[in-house]
Amino acid sequence: MDHPIHDQEIYLQRLSKPLREKLRIARFIPAAAERILDVGCADGTVTLALAGMFPRRRFLGIDLDAGFVQRAAAAAAERGIENAGFENLYLRQLLARPERYDAVLFVSVLHEFFSYGEGISSVLKALADAHELLRPGGELVIRDMILDEFAKHTKFQVAAIGGKIAAAGKDRLVADFTRAFGPLDNLHALNHFLLKYMYVENWDRECRENYVPVTFDQYQQLFALLGMELQHRESYLLPFLRDKWAADFGLTEDELASLKSTGFLVARKR
């Protein structure tokens, strides 16, 4: 996947800021899990935090950026964390090895597989590889920006929310967004723009990246195709985004109730 990052420090700071919230993923790691794979681990912030929480379990973090992997390995050594290793490789390369895992984690990364790979086929291949790498009964855990399919078709509160965005002086950002993704004429598009507009320091990259390419409905179809059993699904709006959208656009509690930022999905291998 080709994903140029113009300012890696800003990118990594963004990834690490919601660490406590990302660590909700720890709830979904099976109690008896011994080996956990973290796909797209970046500089290992989440992987190392989980390894610290579960010192008797073994974690492997993989990423395509060699510099990020070096940072992760250095941080593990500096902090004396011995139950986490890091490698610079593609997920598919692990299939040739004998090791299998009790859990495979995708933390805020599958939308990048879509955006910088080959769309939904790259997501499907990643999930298929993860499925193959799981032991029977193992679990695949996804944390990402995920919206519902129906949001693409509803006009509920679209005029009100869209009007407030239009009045907020974000004309250039809206114009760039609509060139990339089409008009803000449904709830899905409005929600996508709201997840994106604040990242002006890296706007060229952020604007083109599809944050919400795969819906809950599509993920569940992919799980069914792989013969996996859905164990859990949840969706919510992060409090700091709720506050920011209320402050920047004057969105009411009723309008905010229709918007989401974060989704979790857990599927079990039979």
CB atoms within 10 A of CB 121: 11
Half-sphere exposure of 237 (CA within 13 A, CB side): 20
Section 1-25 average pLDDT: 61
Query: SS3 sequence, 12-34?
Result: HHHHHCCHHHHHHHHHHCCCCCC
| pLDDT tens digits for range 240-253 | 999 999 999 999 99
Residue 17, pLDDT score: 56
> How much is the pTM?
0.92
> How is the chain split into domains, by residue range?
8-144
Of the pLDDT bands very low, low, confident and very high (cuts 50, 70, 90), residue 13 is: low
Of 72, 67, 66, which Cα lies nearest the Cα of 90?
A: 66
**Rg of the chain in Å (alpha carbons):** 19
CATH 3.40.50.150 is the classification of domain 8-144: yes
215 touches 186 (CB < 8 A): no
Residue 6, pLDDT score: 47
| pLDDT tens digits for range 73-103 | 999 999 999 999 999 999 999 999 999 999 9
